[in-house]
Amino acid sequence: MNHPASCGPVEIFLVEDNPGDVRLTREALKEGKIYHNLWVAKDGEEALAMLHRKGEYSDIPVPDIILLDLNLPRVDGRDVLARIKEEEELKMIPVVVLTSSEAEQDVLKAYNLHANCFVTKPVDLEQFMMVVRAIESFWLTIVKMPTRI
């Protein structure tokens, strides 16, 4: 396991406007055996406010990993990604771009903006859950993530 013994739960941050997908992600993560907290933002603006810990969000922790849907209301997912990867305090947080888009331009654009990886959301329910768990297992147990300051 990545985390040093005394690190506590993994802080997972989901930016997703579709409540159904939010629920699915929550369930999939619960089934995995990893001790975590899930934070959800429903649009780009809320996501940025939470990441910058402004106002009512001043108490939430810096996430260990961000799952980001590209197509969001208010502030687009691509802009959120760009902002995250520009800012010193946020750029090292792994960002997994989750989206229904399969278009190659989107893939390239995401990687150009330094997304850590890009995953197309499957249409099938069971596949979706598997994907989320595969992402969780990959980022939380297979590779090393930067530790929170």
Cβ closest to another protein, residue 61 vs residue 146: 146
User: Distance between CA 9 and CA 38 in Å, rounded?
Assistant: 10
Tell me how far, at minimum, the Cβ of 95 lies from another protein, in Å.
Answer: 10
CA nearest neighbour of 15 among 30, 5, 6, 25 = 25
* Candidate ranges 11-19, 49-57, 68-76, 134-142; the one touching another protein (CB under 8 A): 134-142
Across the beta sheet with 117-120, the strand order is 36-41, 10-15, 65-69, 95-99, 117-120
The contact set with another protein (CB under 8 A) reads: 4-9, 33, 35, 85, 91-94, 102, 104, 107-108, 111-112, 114, 116-122, 127, 131, 134-135, 137-139, 142-147
